[in-house]
A and B are shown apart, each in its own frame.
Chain A
Amino acid sequence: MGICELSLREMGSAVARRKVSPAELVEAHLSRIRVCDPTLRAYVTVNEAECERLARDRGRQSGGPPGVAAPLNCIPIAVKDNICTKGLRTTCGSRILRNYVPPYDATAVSRLRDRGCLLIGKTNLDEFGMGSSTENSFFGPTRNPWDLERVPGGSSGGSAAAVAAGMAAAALGTDTGGSVRQPAALCGLVGYKPTYGVVSRRGLVAFASSLDQIGVIARTVEDTAAVLEAVSGWDAWDSTSARRGQVRARQTGEVGKSGVLRVGVPWGFFSEGLDPDVSDVTRAVVSKLEKERWAFEEIDLPHAEYSIAAYYLVADAEASSNLARYDGVRYGEREGGTDDLWEMYVRTRTAGLGTEVKRRVMLGTYALSAGYYEAYYLRAQKARTLIKRDYEEVLRRVDLVLMPTSPTAAFRLGEKLHDPLAMYLSDVFTVGVNLAGLPAVSLPSGYSRSGLPIGLQLIGRAFEDQTLLEAARLFEQVVALEARTPAGLKGLLESGRGGA
């Protein structure tokens, strides 16, 4: 194992103890990117020059910039390309923003910079976060390091692939309906979606404002907690940021110590038609945890079956409005050649937005248009209340809810691309959490028969992110999954003879 396979914690302490120089750490990652990324296409933009310069500067200072300490100092972190980075283009995977350079940093990004992190690059995604496979990108699809013919999941597929392939120590993703958890699951990583309001949305390019949340993809729960500690906490620039949103990385060790962890499993909701590999992994993990004083009980989420319908109406309604600003007037690509304003709008948007985005904008527009508002948007928001209530009631009796993150392991490129509804239905286990605003974490839990990673998610109570992280750490210890090198990555490294 090389530097690139170390956990963030290990990298941080290697830098702090001067076993590795910042420049070496950056170079190892950049060279891994040079070898693997032409195939994986995890990055839209690699921030090579800035990282090299910062690494050189940090190398000369003793112990990094003032107030900056391990574990994040000099750590190469990837940022999903729908999170604004000052002076570094932020495309959202869209043609319409392919040359857009924001004049400001997202709050989460500036907090990472303050901790000394190096922004190694901007990762590929489904355009504006709309998709579950990272195939809907103007920059082409990202491949799964575990199997190059398969998708990495989405929409934060670039972030997941980058971390899985050792091209970043950890990454920021965004999770509107599972977009952090599902790619983490499909790439064998930890994917954390915080309680809505824990991480500022300032600078996160909105898809669905009431559902979007920045999350973390990393190799271990400890790494996840370190990044989450840096980016969480109240932000005056986001009216939906919570006062009690600060998460601490330090474990109190309280969870599970004082007694049994009560975990609800909605078997009835997810069992039918579940992929046998996912089903096997779920059962195996449950029985392992039962031996460690985790008390499982079956729970019922009576409205969970409505979550896809409610989610797509709410998300697309908000998206139709959020994406109206891409009109070729102030920034972004304009499709010219006309002296008629209406024509300019229509040409710009028709050429600048991709098929899936247009489909959703159309659905959202329709759902909000005169005569349909109550039947679609409002009814969906009422269903959302029922879905949220289910979780709240269950979480009064149990500490956590456990269920699979995705109904299947990674699927093949192109497999669902032409059946939008089938693609939507693959989000069935993740969207409920966004509708309810709850924290959830997908954890590596096992492998399919063909060696693809499978993830299970734990869902916690609102604003009990700390507890959820601690439970996730226990889960990680108990499940003690054997580490494997992703097969696709192995092939790339062997043929490229590169990487560290």
Chain B
Amino acid sequence: MSVTRSDVEHAARLCRLEFSPDELETLRGELGRILEYVEKLRELDVTEVEPTLYGLAGSTPLREDVPGEDTLAREDALAGAPDEENGHFKVPGVL
């Protein structure tokens, strides 16, 4: 399985990372080797096999619809904010 440069660039865009041309090339090689290794999964016949999606069997538990006590004071909610304005989290303009 060879990984193309545009595959790597597409993935980088999706996860909001940027690489220099050299880094991109190194990464392409590394991902290529890892993906080549995982190709061995193709040896398995999994047509009749259900995937194991969870660490645990069973149904997800349900919580009662009761407001809890975990709500934070606003100053705690904003305590780690890199930038804020007027009780809001502030980021560069979206539109």
Chain A: residues with CB nearer than 8 A to chain B?
A: 100-101, 103-104, 196-197, 209-211, 213, 236, 239-240, 242, 303, 305-306, 308-310, 312-313, 320, 324, 327-334, 336, 338-347, 349-350, 353, 358-359, 361-363, 365-366, 369, 376, 378-386, 388, 420-421, 424, 435, 437
Q: Tell me whether A330 and B37 are in contact (CB under 8 A).
A: no
Q: Tell me whether A332 and B80 are in contact (CB under 8 A).
A: yes
**Complex Cα–Cα for A420 and B37 (A):** 12
Contact of B31 among A336, A346, A366 (CB under 8 A): A366
Contact of B17 among A362, A383, A424 (CB under 8 A): A362
Q: Tell me whether A310 and B63 are in contact (CB under 8 A).
A: no
Residues of B within 8 A of A358 (CB): 17
Q: Tell me whether A196 and B34 are in contact (CB under 8 A).
A: no
Q: B77 to nearest A CB, angstroms?
A: 8
Contact of B16 among A100, A310, A345, A385 (CB under 8 A): A345
10 smallest CB-CB distances across A and B, nearest first, come from: A331-B80, A381-B51, A334-B82, A196-B55, A382-B46, A309-B38, A345-B16, A210-B55, A382-B49, A384-B52
Q: A60 to nearest B CB, angstroms?
A: 31
Chain B: residues with CB nearer than 8 A to chain A?
A: 3, 7-8, 10-12, 14-19, 27, 30-31, 33-35, 37-38, 40-42, 44, 46, 49-56, 60-61, 63, 70, 72, 76-77, 79-83, 89, 91-94
Task: Give chain B's interface secondary structure class.
Answer: loop
**Complex Cα–Cα for A104 and B76 (A):** 10
Q: Tell me whether A366 and B40 are in contact (CB under 8 A).
A: no
Q: Tell me whether A420 and B30 are in contact (CB under 8 A).
A: yes
Tell me the nearest residue of chain B to A360, going by C-beta. Answer: B34
Q: Tell me whether A101 and B53 are in contact (CB under 8 A).
A: no
Q: A169 to nearest B CB, angstroms?
A: 29
Known: A196-B56, A366-B11. A359 touches B30 (CB 8 A): yes
Q: Tell me whether A346 and B18 are in contact (CB under 8 A).
A: yes
Tell me the nearest residue of chain A to B7, going by C-beta. Answer: A366
Q: Tell me whether B50 and A349 are in contact (CB under 8 A).
A: no
Residues of B within 8 A of A345 (CB): 16
Q: Tell me whether B49 and A385 are in contact (CB under 8 A).
A: yes
Known: A312-B38, A363-B31, A384-B51. A306 touches B61 (CB 8 A): no
Task: Give chain A's interface secondary structure class.
Answer: helix
Q: Tell me whether A320 and B41 are in contact (CB under 8 A).
A: no
Q: Tell me whether A239 and B38 are in contact (CB under 8 A).
A: no
- Known contacts A240-B56, A339-B93, A435-B52; 5 further A-B pairs (Cβ under 8 A): A331-B81, A346-B16, A361-B15, A362-B15, A380-B38
Tell me the nearest residue of chain A to B43, going by C-beta. Answer: A306
Q: Tell me whether A365 and B14 are in contact (CB under 8 A).
A: yes
Known: A239-B60, A358-B17, A362-B11. A103 touches B46 (CB 8 A): no
**Complex Cα–Cα for A211 and B55 (A):** 6
Tell me the nearest residue of chain B to A195, going by C-beta. Answer: B56
**Complex Cα–Cα for A343 and B17 (A):** 10
**Complex Cα–Cα for A334 and B92 (A):** 12
Q: Tell me whether A362 and B83 are in contact (CB under 8 A).
A: no
Residues of A within 8 A of B92 (CB): 338-341, 343-344
Known: A306-B44, A363-B34, A366-B7. A386 touches B49 (CB 8 A): yes
Q: Tell me whether B56 and A197 are in contact (CB under 8 A).
A: yes
Residues of B within 8 A of A365 (CB): 11, 14-15
Q: B30 to nearest A CB, angstroms?
A: 6
**Complex Cα–Cα for A363 and B3 (A):** 11
Residues of B within 8 A of A211 (CB): 55
Residues of A within 8 A of B42 (CB): 379
| 11 sample A-B contacts, Cβ–Cβ < 8 Å, listed by A number | A101-B80, A331-B81, A344-B91, A359-B27, A361-B15, A366-B7, A366-B35, A379-B46, A382-B49, A382-B50, A421-B34
Q: A208 to nearest B CB, angstroms?
A: 9
Contact of B34 among A101, A242, A312, A336 (CB under 8 A): A312
Q: B3 to nearest A CB, angstroms?
A: 8
**Complex Cα–Cα for A186 and B35 (A):** 29
Residues of A within 8 A of B14 (CB): 365, 369
Tell me the nearest residue of chain B to A380, going by C-beta. Answer: B41
Interface centre among A303, A309, A350, A369 (most CB of B within 10 A): A309
Residues of B within 8 A of A344 (CB): 91-92
